Chain A
Amino acid sequence: MPKPFLSIERMTQRYPDGQGGTMTVFENASFGIEKGEFVCILGHSGCGKSTIMNILAGLAEPTSGVVKMDGFEVSGPSLDRGVVFQNYSLLPWLSALKNVTFGIKARYPDWSADKVEAHARDYLAKVGLEGDVVYRKPSQLSGGMRQRVSIARAFANQPKLLLLDEPFGALDALTRGTIQEELLKVWAGTDQTVFMITHDIDEAILLADRILLMTNGPFARVAESVEITIPRPRTRTQIVEHPNYYAIRNHLVQFLGQRSKELAGKQSGDDDQRPETVRIDKTALVDEEPSAPPPLRAVND
């Protein structure tokens, strides 16, 4: 089996528990992400999602285990891995435009100032920010606009892997909906791989090719990898009519509501903790070949 684009191998994270002992967030977690895939990770608060993301970003080191991207071990942050943090990731003394050019200048140091600015405006326009708003400071923007700027900054750098930590966590449902669709638009037509943390099941179904489900911590596991068997392009209103939608949604709700607790707290011994693949497809019950990899990535066709 060929190695996936991003592979996480036997990753373990322990922290001191504050009483002289150690607390294991997760142990021997192993999973892979294919190139161009959009993967969401769902799990209860405190199970270790942000910890995983920080390790993937290279901002933190796991206690043990390795992360490999394109065959190379991840060590330290890199421009190949863009990050959208939940909050506060814009530099408040720079305008929206300058925040984006800040990133582009770091990525393409030999570009001319005009080219950098045009590129920045291009990406800001893709997330719906045009005209005078780009000259405003983050404090003068709404929460939704700020996250749009963060997304534009991350995508403008054209990283191979994009990591998003609950990017829409603080936004209202309406704004969320719009930005989710913008995010899909920006992502479509690139070969960028996206790894996104969310708390929102519907958001995950709309966006993801695959959803990773985590059990509760400590000793959390990435227990399942649920394929989203709904073709793209997707819109919020259409996916709910797809026969697979409620089946998948019920599965996720069941997991988060019940099984995440039941499966929690088990030590792994020495085993690799690989997620079990779950494929729910009511449209192809008749002639499915179970072992064939499903052609899920259907953005451009």
Chain B
Amino acid sequence: MLDNLSINKRAAILSIVMLVVGLLIWEAAIPAQKAVGELTEYERLTGGGAQKAGVPPPSQVIAKAWEELSNPFYDAGPNDKGIGIQIGYSIYRVLTGYFLAALVAIPLGFLIGMSQIAYKAFNPFIQVLRPISPLAWMPLALFIIQDSEASAIFVIFVCSIWPMLLNTAFGVAGVRKDWVNVARTHELGPLKTAFTVILPAAAPTIVTGMRISIGIAWLVIVAAEMLVGGTGIGYYVWNEWNNLDLTSVIFSILMIGVVGMLLDSAFGVLQRAVAYAE
């Protein structure tokens, strides 16, 4: 019966089976907590009635997810905001830092890719700055910028700039000479050549760099928000950990994954749009 299904359908069935089995094992592995009514006097007096901090079973996480996702945008003070609001803050920071980085990295990458001199002049700086963990900039950013919000954005800016810069330079430098010659024999000016020949020719490589960058930015924002605090999904995870609410921690971890996947697939769509076959 499975044989007449397409590979995709069979794979989907397999995924669902793995998910269900995994959840069941997880659920079974967590010892159930006793209901309050069943506790002895002694247990109640020694505080056994309070929820014990343990890894929650998936059923609790799902219940939590249902509760949070049915009202994602509530705002009840600085320490109690809906998951939607928290993720919204994070996405806003990521996108701001990311687009500022793109604004710098893509034109600079063009320059480096087109000119040997620019490449050689910029290369030592790139080689030294690139391996620095973006979080290492945080203290300096906080000190200079004096604003946690802007510092988080700055950290995103720093971490997303490199893949975009290097891929743009690489893509631009690798544009086939024949295509550039086509532009030359048609007397296109430098700007026209850049936009009508080099940009489309290098676009797949550039977008690959952009896709890598957005992935890194999303990884880094969680850590950055844990440091600067206030708002955002990273802060939310940290805050729930401090509350010992592991259900919320697990739920928000899953949300980080889902949002990361959505960001990545948006760039996947863009990548397919600019791809061409030679």
List of B residues within 8 angstroms of A93 by Cβ: 200-201, 203, 274, 276
CA distance A79 to B188 in the complex (A): 10
Number of A-B contacts defined by CB within 8 Å? 59
Interface-facing stretch out of B25-33, B62-70, B101-109, B174-182 = B174-182
Identity of the chain A residue whose Cβ is nearest the Cβ of B179 in the assembled complex: A91
Cβ < 8 Å to A, chain B residues 262-278: 274, 276-278
Identity of the chain A residue whose Cβ is nearest the Cβ of B186 in the assembled complex: A106
B95 part of interface (Cβ distance < 8 Å): no
Tell me if A77 and B185 are in contact (CB < 8 A): yes
Contact of B187 among A59, A78, A102 (CB under 8 A): A78
Tell me if A59 and B184 are in contact (CB < 8 A): yes
Tell me if A57 and B276 are in contact (CB < 8 A): no
CA distance A106 to B188 in the complex (A): 7
A-B residue pairs, 3 tightest by C-beta:
A139-B277, A106-B186, A93-B276
Known: A78-B187, A93-B201. A85 touches B278 (CB 8 A): no
CA distance A88 to B181 in the complex (A): 11
Chain A count of residues within 8 A CB distance of the other chain: 25
Q: Can you report 27 A-B residue pairs in the complex whose CB atoms are below 8 A from each other? A: A57-B185, A59-B184, A76-B184, A77-B181, A77-B184, A79-B185, A79-B187, A82-B185, A83-B185, A85-B178, A87-B178, A88-B178, A89-B178, A89-B182, A91-B182, A91-B197, A92-B276, A92-B278, A93-B201, A93-B276, A106-B186, A106-B188, A107-B186, A139-B276, A139-B277, A139-B278, A157-B186
Tell me if B276 and A103 are in contact (CB < 8 A): no
Closest Cβ of chain A: how far from B258's Cβ, in Å?
33
List of A residues within 8 angstroms of B178 by Cβ: 85, 87-89
List of A residues within 8 angstroms of B276 by Cβ: 92-93, 137, 139
Tell me if A59 and B188 are in contact (CB < 8 A): no
B146 part of interface (Cβ distance < 8 Å): no
Cβ < 8 Å to B, chain A residues 38-81: 57-59, 76-79, 81
Closest Cβ of chain B: how far from A108's Cβ, in Å?
11
B123 part of interface (Cβ distance < 8 Å): no
Closest Cβ of chain A: how far from B207's Cβ, in Å?
13
Contact of A92 among B181, B187, B277 (CB under 8 A): B277
List of B residues within 8 angstroms of A138 by Cβ: 278
B196 part of interface (Cβ distance < 8 Å): yes
Closest Cβ of chain A: how far from B181's Cβ, in Å?
6
Closest Cβ of chain B: how far from A195's Cβ, in Å?
14
Closest Cβ of chain A: how far from B19's Cβ, in Å?
39
Identity of the chain B residue whose Cβ is nearest the Cβ of A81 in the assembled complex: B185
Closest Cβ of chain B: how far from A162's Cβ, in Å?
11
Closest Cβ of chain B: how far from A113's Cβ, in Å?
15
Closest Cβ of chain B: how far from A107's Cβ, in Å?
7
Output the residue of A57, A76, A77 with the most chain B CB within 10 A.
A77
Cβ < 8 Å to A, chain B residues 189-219: 196-197, 200-201, 203
Residues of A at the B interface (CB closer than 8 Å) are 57-59, 76-79, 81-83, 85, 87-89, 91-93, 102-103, 106-107, 137-139, 157
List 19 additional contacts besides A89-B181, A106-B187, A139-B276; criterion CB under 8 Å. Answer: A58-B185, A59-B184, A79-B186, A81-B185, A83-B181, A83-B185, A85-B178, A85-B181, A88-B179, A89-B182, A91-B179, A91-B182, A91-B200, A92-B276, A93-B200, A93-B203, A103-B186, A137-B276, A157-B186
CA distance A81 to B185 in the complex (A): 7
Tell me if B200 and A77 are in contact (CB < 8 A): no
Closest Cβ of chain B: how far from A31's Cβ, in Å?
22
Closest Cβ of chain B: how far from A5's Cβ, in Å?
19
CA distance A138 to B176 in the complex (A): 15
List of A residues within 8 angstroms of B187 by Cβ: 77-79, 106
List of A residues within 8 angstroms of B181 by Cβ: 59, 77, 83, 85, 89
Contact of B185 among A59, A87, A137 (CB under 8 A): A59
CA distance A59 to B182 in the complex (A): 10
Output the residue of B178, B185, B200 with the most chain A CB within 10 A.
B185
Closest Cβ of chain B: how far from A179's Cβ, in Å?
20
List of A residues within 8 angstroms of B185 by Cβ: 57-59, 77-79, 81-83
Closest Cβ of chain A: how far from B201's Cβ, in Å?
7
List of B residues within 8 angstroms of A81 by Cβ: 185
CA distance A93 to B201 in the complex (A): 8
CA distance A77 to B186 in the complex (A): 8
Identity of the chain A residue whose Cβ is nearest the Cβ of B276 in the assembled complex: A93
Output the residue of A58, A87, A106, A107 with the most chain B CB within 10 A.
A106
CA distance A139 to B275 in the complex (A): 12
List of A residues within 8 angstroms of B277 by Cβ: 92, 137, 139
Closest Cβ of chain B: how far from A167's Cβ, in Å?
13
CA distance A283 to B276 in the complex (A): 55
Identity of the chain B residue whose Cβ is nearest the Cβ of A107 in the assembled complex: B186
CA distance A271 to B277 in the complex (A): 50
CA distance A49 to B197 in the complex (A): 27
List of B residues within 8 angstroms of A91 by Cβ: 179, 182, 197, 200-201
List of A residues within 8 angstroms of B179 by Cβ: 88-89, 91
Closest Cβ of chain A: how far from B205's Cβ, in Å?
13
Tell me if A88 and B184 are in contact (CB < 8 A): no
List of A residues within 8 angstroms of B200 by Cβ: 91, 93
CA distance A70 to B217 in the complex (A): 59
